[in-house]
Amino acid sequence: MMEWTILGAGALGCVIAGQLHQKGEQVGFMLSERHRGHFHPKLDLITLSGSHQLINSQPRFPEHSRKVECLLVFTKAYNVLDALKELRHLPKSTPVILFNNGMGLTEQVKALLPDNPLLAGVCNHGAMKEQDWLVRHTGKGETWLGPLNEAGKAWAHLVKPLAAALGHTEWGDDIALHQRRKLAVNAVMNPLTACNNISNGQLLEPRFSEVLEQLTDEVYQVIARLDGNDAETKEAYRRRLHQVIEQTATNSSSMQQDLACGRKTEIDYISGYMLTHADGLPVPVSQQLYDEIKKREDSMQRPAPGAKRQA
């Protein structure tokens, strides 16, 4: 039986690992050096019904990469390349599936791993990390899998075990279309909730109605132009966005959590991607949110006034 190796033990990676394990699949976590020598407890997964499931998983480290049979990448977008570079012994035949947020990494990963089958996964399940090795599955959604290079096209059969574990899972030859559909939601929810330090559901409060409408229009224009003939209508997009906000009302976006905890965000791969592809379209709200989050990130990296720098 093939082992699924999860790179990135965040909320969604842990939930996917738990779901696969519950269906009898073998799962391992590829861990960074900071985890070496630590005790690795069982993953405690809180299911949609509220029950606790203890999940056994095998801890892996870069020297084990030669035995990786299928790699699922859930690291933060800005860590993907560095994390993959650590896996120097990864077999060229091993499929690598990118599940990271945002867009803009495909060409760089292709250059780094020119021979590996490369795929992208778009997973709309809700997940929340409550503490180390304790994650909550907060909602079910669609999952899409598709190729990023020619070699990736031979791995469509992975849809079957993923569907058994996750529910609705389909193959998409144009996986970038599904990536953009998810980006269109994240490019509204993530920066707005992060800048205002609010939960997803609070976006529907009257005080945010004007900026939500302006940002929705900006994002739709950019994504619709990228989608071309496959673009959804503005009304369909607006309904989909509001449905996600309502379904995840009590959740906090990953960007809100990162900014609130003083961590780097994935803004460059979400709003940054939008701005790069605006090509003359007016996107003032997206630009303002991007600038504000970059400003806050920069301030977190600077030492406080009077603080001594480490030699």
- How far is it, in rounded angstroms, from Cα 134 to Cα 140? 18
- How far is it, in rounded angstroms, from Cα 96 to Cα 5? 10
DSSP string, 201-221: GGGGSGGGHHHHHHHHHHHHH
- How far is it, in rounded angstroms, from Cα 20 to Cα 66? 22
Instruction: Give the number of other CB atoms < 10 A from CB of residue 47.
Output: 14
Identify whether the C-beta of residue 65 lies closer than 8 Å to the C-beta of residue 103.
Answer: no
Identify whether the C-beta of residue 29 lies closer than 8 Å to the C-beta of residue 9.
Answer: yes
Q: Which of 42, 76, 182, 264 is catalytic?
A: 182
Residues 6+ apart with CB under 8 A from 261: none
Q: Is 241 exposed, middle or buried (0-12, 13-18, 19+ CB in 10 A)?
A: buried
- How far is it, in rounded angstroms, from Cα 255 to Cα 259? 6
Amino acid identity, position 289 = L
Q: Which stretches of the chain are DSSP H helices?
A: 11-22, 80-85, 106-112, 159-166, 175-196, 209-227, 234-247, 254-260, 271-276, 284-301
Annotated active-site residue 182? The verdict is yes
Residues known to be catalytic:
182
